[in-house]
Every structure is written in structure tokens, then in C-alpha cells.
Amino acid sequence: MPDTTDALEKEEMFRVIFDNALDGVILADIGTKRLLVGNKTMCAMLGYRRDEISGLSVTNIHPEHDVPYVLDQFEKQAKGEILLAKDIPVLRKDGSVFFADVNSSVVTTGGKRCLLGIFRDITDRRGAEIEREQYFRFFQISTDIMVIADPQGCFKKVNPACLQVLGYSEEELLTKPFIDFVHPDDRQMTRDEMARQIRTGASHDFENRYVCKDGTLLWLSWRATHDEGEKVTYATARDITERKREERALRESAEELKKFKMAVEAASDQIILTDSEGTIIYVNKGAESFTGYSREEVIGKKASLWGGQMPKGFYEEMWKAIREDKKPFSAELVNRRKDGVPYDAEIHISPVLDDAGAVRYFIGVERDITKAKEVDTAKSEFISLASHQMRTPLTAVNWYSEMLLNGDAGELNAKQKEYFQAIYTAGQQMNEIIKTFLHILRLEAGSGAMNAIPVDLVGMVQSTVEESKLTIDKKHLHVSEQIQDALPLPKIDPELAHVILQNLISNAVKYTPENGGVTVSLEKVVQGSTVAGKTAEADSVLVSVHDTGIGIAEADRDKISTKFFRAENAKTWDPNGNGLGLYMTDRMIRTARGALWFSSRVGEGTTFYALLPIGGG
Amino acid sequence: MKILVVEDEEVLAKVLEEKLEKSGDEVAIAADGEVAITLAQSFNPDVIVLDLLLPKRSGFEVLQILKADNVLKAIPVIVVSNLGEDNDIKHALSLGAVDYYVKSEHPINEIIEKIGNIVIQAK
């Protein structure tokens, strides 16, 4: 009896232990896979009442798709191959799943071989592991640099991004103080940042430059946090080299722009920016004082606000140049201020094209030349008066020397005749110079006596050559004419035509050394065809005057037809030239809507080309 | 033939006077515009040679006065001046001048010849 009591007490003790165990305990029939009994903890884990447990099979307490695996583990445990089955998913009554490590042992009770399973819920532990794995993975796959550094200034851990960005091996990075990889100029700053980090414990952002293995410099933007407990610093960094470069470029261009803006604003000229339709987008300060209109009044308007004073053709020509031909346009014109007062201006308009070659903007620069014009007018008037006044004594010189040469005062001896002839010739030359002056004044005033009629250039060439006969003979020049048959008669003011031919031929004769040659050619040129590098804009007659003279230096090319310009070699050759001939010729040809240009080689000769439209100007 | 030369520049007037007299003409000289009008009436010239820039009255004014006078308007006027602008020439011709010569552009013989031609036409 005492044995029985003892036995009962023992059973009671086992039950207490069984039920109060922290792990879940369950007994399952190996043969039938039926669950026989579970302890309190096991019931709580599964959510079943104790009496429900004994009706279940092993397969009921695991998720369906895990059953084959679980049964496999069950069999292995039953055979004693394994004692512990790890990470077994367990299905609660409510359908939720938790993970458990299951320890087992085979027992025999009531003649049945049973498996005693002890379940330990590992959900918490497993979660922590997964989390750690995720963090590690994050560390591994991050494209940002992630490092852990010790207070001694060495990296303890670096992620693959760090290796990839900097190009060093992990070993290289971990064995040297990281400061060694920092650009020397940034080392002190980086040390200071580290010290501050440790001192304050707060997150800090800073930027520094790292020297990569291949020598390139990278800008890194860091965020670092010191963990006093762990005695490490966690830091992430991002490569901001490109951003830095852009910032720098932006800063530089902003500074450039500032300079430009200052220059444009401060310019005394009027500077206007318009869109492709001519609507004003910007005007500088100069424009306000120029036109009298404020910025607000002109933005969004067109420049015709203070323009529109010129003939229609002027604006047509301007728009054709800048919009169709997409070329800069320069001209002098008259505009009108807000108060109605007209002013003379010189304008330069340039189209600004986009990558596709379409006009994006127009930039207009306008300069007030009213004062300059007034000076010009005064100058012109002075020269006009002077020219006229010079003519009177000149007439006396001419007439008297003519009378003397004529024998009106008695017969002259040979010497007297020679001397008076010299006076007479000089008088004629003087008259030519005065005529030239007056021509220029007329052209500049735009009031040239334009009497365009069909002109026989052939006859005119011959008579003009005849005018230079004295010099031609003296220098033994060979002068030839090449005239195309059935040459049309261009419409031009005969006086203009004569002066043009006279200048071109007398220049050729003047600047050609003894025994040289001068060839004057006349030919018809049809519209659109190209002669000597120029395309004729209309059916024209081309006058070319070729000489074997001293030539024109490349440096003088652009100045040759400017007023009073004289080429160095021309000065040496003929000190008395006035520098007006080609200027005037060019002006006259342009008045006739023609073109004047030349080709030349110093020491070999020059060919001047004058294109005169048959239809006139 | 009687020719009135209106010319304020003595040195030029003298040339014209000599040359014309040499070719057999009777010459009177007027050195300003006022005298020109007076002589046009009293001297009764067949032709008037007229300068334009003159003291007292300009050649243009003289021309206007002559052409406004019923008797005097018949006398042919030839302008010989150193004003050579197109406007001047057109103006003078529109006021009734028969011809126009820029002095410095022409030899004296040519001008005398032209005057001679006018005189012949005037006859």
C-alpha cells in the first residue's frame, strides 16, 4: 500500500512537473501519428483544450504544406536518427503559425511506441535572427557606403559599396587608419568631426574628399553617429562628386552670368533681347535712358515702339537678313524717343540660333549716334563750303594758265609753256579732288544725283583709259580690254559709272610698275551665278580691272575701302593719294546696288571686281 | 553783241571781259545783284552771263526778277557759277536760265564758245 501511495504521489508530482513545464510537451503514437496527451503549456501554445488534443493527429498541428517535412523529421526522430528538429512550423487551432525547436525521445507506454516531443517556441529568437540577417543584407546591398569605425580611427567593418566606390580591398581599408585615405587638405577637418562626434554623441553631417585606389578624388557626404556604449562610430557616406561638380559649374556659370549681366546693364549702348517674333524680353538700363521708355513699358512689346521711322523696305531688308538668312544686320537708322524727339542710331542685330538652327532670340545693340551725326553734318557742310570756295581761285588758276598757254598774252617759249602746262595740269587735278570730295558728301548725305540710265560702259571704258594715257605711255604699260559681245547696258548714273571706272583704272595704272599690264574686262553675269567667289544677286555686268601691280596686303583687306585709309605699300608708292578713291567707289557701287571686291597677291597684282546690276539700283 | 557779265570775282570777270571783247562783243560787268538788275535795264544786253553767289542779291533772285519783267524776260541768261550741286542747277534752269556751267569744270575757251552759241541763237 505504501508503495501505491508512493506511486500515486510520484504520478502527481510528475503531472505537476508535466503541466508546469515552460516548454510544451506532447506524446504521440509513432504508429498511428495520433496525439495522446499534451501538457498545459502545449495546449496554450496550440490553442486547444486538453481533451481536444487527444483527438488530433500529428498532421493536424502543422501547416499543410509543411506536413511532409514534419513527418520526415518525425520518422527520423522515431528511429533515433535525430533528437532535435529545428525551426518546425506549428499550426495553432486559430490557423496562425509559430516556430518551435522540437526535442524528442522515444518512450513506450501502454505497450505502444510513442514519441515524446518537447516544443520550445522560438518565434522571438527567430524574429531577431531574421532581423539581423536583414540588417546585414541591407549593409551588403546598400549602394551607399556604410562603415563602422573604432575610436582609434580605423574601420572595423566596411560594406561592399565602400570597397567598390573607393577601389580598395577590405584588408587595405581595415588595416590602415581611415584618415590615410582622406585627401590631405581634408584630414584635419575630418579629425575634428570625429572628435566632435565622440564628444557630443549626436549625428553629424560633413563632407570630405577621399583618394581612391586609382588616384581619383571623390567627394563623400558623411553622416556619422558615435555609440558610446559600443565604443564605435557608425557612418554612412554617399559619393557626391558629380553633384559637387555640377554645383561648381553652376556657381561658376552663375558668377559668369553675374559678370555678363553687370557688363550688359552698365553698357552705355542700348541692349535688347527679343524672342524670335521680336517681342522684347529684356532691355538694359541704357535702353531706358535711350528711348525714354521704362523697362516695364517695353517688355512684351516690339522695338517698333520707338522705331518705324524708316521706309518699309529698310525693315523688310532687316527682317530678311536676321530671320531668313539668319545673319547679323547692321545699319544706321532714325528712331524716335518717347517724347517724340528723333535720334540717329547705329544698330546691330544678331539672331541667336538653337541647336537645330532655328532662331531662338534676337540680340539688338543700338548706339545713339546723333552727336556723331551732327559732327558729321558740320564736317560735311564745312567741306562743301570749302570745296566751293576753293573752286573760285582754282578757276582763276585754270583760266589764266589756259589763256597763257593759248597765247592770249603773246607767244610763250618752250620753258614757259612747260611751266604753265604744269600749273594747268595741277589745277585740273585739284578740280578732280574737289569733285571727289563733293561726290562723297553727296553719297553720305544720301542725296546723290541718281540719274540711272542705260550706260554704254564699253565706250566709257575706252574714254577712261584714254584719260590715263599720259601715265600709261610714260610707264610703258600694256593696257588691254576684253569686252564680251552683245554686252547689255546697265542702268546707272553715268557720272557714277564714270567715277567708278576712273578710280579702278587710274588705281591700276598708278600702282603698276613700268612695263606692267592692266586688263579691263566687261562681261555679263546672270543672276545666281558665281564669279570670283561672289554670287550675283541680279543680272549684272561685271567690270574686272586686273593689274600686275604692287598688290594689297592681307592685313589691309578689310580696310581698303574705308575712308582715308591708305595701305602702307600704296603710301610708299604714291605719297599724294587721298585715301578716298576706293571708299568712294565702294559707296557708289553700293548706291547702284552692286558689289565691289578684289583678289590680290602682294608683288603680283590685283584684280578689282565691280558688279553693276543691269536693272539699276 | 552786248553781253552783261554778272560776276563779283574781279579776276574772273576780267577774263570773261577780255575774252568776249576779243571775239568782238561789247561787255558790261556787274559786280553784285543790284547792279545786275540796273544794267539789265540800262545796258540792254543781248545775253546775260550770271554768277549765283553774289553780294546784295543772289543770282537766283536776279534771275527771278528778270523773268518776272515783261521786257527783260526775253534776254537769255546763261549761268556760270562754281555752285555745282544738282539742286542748284535744277533750280536755276527752272527759273529760266538757258544753260548752266560750273566754272572750274570747263576751260575758258569752252565757256566763251557756249556763250557765243547762245548769242547766235538769240539773234
**CATH number corresponding to B2-122:** 3.40.50.2300
Same domain, A156 and A201: yes
Task: Kindly give the parts of chain A with pLDDT less than 70.
Answer: 1-5, 376, 379-381, 383-384, 442-451, 561-580, 616-617
Among residues A398, A418, A443, the one where a domain terminates is A443
Sign (positive or negative) of CA dihedral A550, A554, A556, A557 = positive
Same domain, A186 and A297: no
User: Looking at residue A289, which CATH number applies to its domain?
Assistant: 3.30.450.20
Residue A550's pLDDT is: 85
Chain A residue numbers touching B105 (CB-CB < 8 A): 431, 435
Going from the C-alpha of B67 to that of each of A536, A545, B30, B76, B91, the distances in angstroms are: 51, 50, 18, 10, 14
Same domain, A182 and A234: yes
> For chain B, how many helices (H) and strands (E)?
5, 5
Chain A residue numbers touching B104 (CB-CB < 8 A): 391-392, 394-395, 398, 431, 434
Which residue in the set B19, B105, B109 is minimally distant from A431, CB to CB? Answer: B105
Name the E strands within A228-358: 232-239, 270-275, 280-283, 329-336, 342-353
Same domain, A361 and A381: no
- Judged by CB atoms closer than 8 Å, whether chains meet at A400 and B15 is answered as yes
**Alpha-helix residue ranges (DSSP H) falling in chain B:** 10-22, 33-42, 59-68, 86-94, 108-122
Same domain, A466 and A414: no
Q: Is residue A570 part of a domain?
A: yes
Determine contact: B103 vs chain A, CB below 8 A: yes
- Judged by CB atoms closer than 8 Å, whether chains meet at A391 and B11 is answered as no
Residue A383's pLDDT is: 64
Nine-digit cell string for A580 = 578716298
Same domain, A271 and A201: no
Q: Is residue A146 part of a domain?
A: yes
Residue A228's pLDDT is: 83
Chain A residue numbers touching B107 (CB-CB < 8 A): 398-399, 402
Residue A563's pLDDT is: 61
Same domain, A329 and A357: yes
Same domain, A48 and A116: yes
Q: Rounded to whole angstroms, how far apart are CA atoms A609 and A457?
A: 14
Q: What is the ipTM of this complex?
A: 0.87
Give the number of C-alpha atoms closer than 13 A to the C-alpha of residue A7, restricted to the C-beta side. 4
Q: Bridge partners of B103?
A: none
Residue A448's pLDDT is: 43
Give residue limits of the domains in chain B.
2-122
Q: Residue A604 sits in which domain range?
A: 449-613
Same domain, A393 and A349: no
Contact A536, A525 (CB under 8 A): yes
Q: Is residue A363 part of a domain?
A: yes
Chain B: nearest CA to A510, how far in angstroms?
23
Residue A128's pLDDT is: 86
The whole-model pTM stands at: 0.42
Please report the residues numbered 39 through 58 in chain B whose beta carbons come closer than 8 angstroms to any beta carbon of chain A.
Answer: 53
Residue A155's pLDDT is: 92
- Condensed to tens digits (0 to 9), the pLDDT of residues B90-111 reads 889 999 999 999 888 888 988 9
Residue A380's pLDDT is: 62
Chain A and chain B share a number of CB contacts under 8 A equal to 52
Which residue in the set A391, A402, A403 is minimally distant from B82, CB to CB? Answer: A391
Which residue in the set A403, A435, A442 is minimally distant from B15, CB to CB? Answer: A403
Quote helix, strand, coil % in chain A, to nearest 5.
45, 30, 25
Same domain, A115 and A7: yes
Q: Largest alpha-carbon pair distance within chain B?
A: 34
Same domain, A422 and A468: no
Suggest the residue from A395, A433, A442 to mutate for an interface test with chain B (most B CBs closer than 10 A). A395
Q: Is residue A252 part of a domain?
A: no
Contact A271, A264 (CB under 8 A): yes
User: Looking at residue A592, which CATH number applies to its domain?
Assistant: 3.30.565.10
Q: Residue A245 is which amino acid? A: R
Same domain, A223 and A345: no
Residue in chain B nearest A389 by alpha carbon: B82
Q: Is residue A261 part of a domain?
A: no
Suggest the residue from A391, A498, A499 to mutate for an interface test with chain B (most B CBs closer than 10 A). A391
Please report the residues numbered 73 through 92 in chain B whose beta carbons come closer than 8 angstroms to any beta carbon of chain A.
Answer: 82-86
Which residue in the set A398, A406, A449 is minimally distant from B104, CB to CB? Answer: A398
Domains of chain A: total: 5
Residue A179's pLDDT is: 92
Determine contact: B99 vs chain A, CB below 8 A: no
Residue A449's pLDDT is: 43
Which residue in the set A392, A402, A438 is minimally distant from B9, CB to CB? Answer: A392
Residue in chain A nearest B11 by alpha carbon: A396
Chain-centroid distance, C-alpha A446: 43
- Judged by CB atoms closer than 8 Å, whether chains meet at B103 and A434 is answered as no
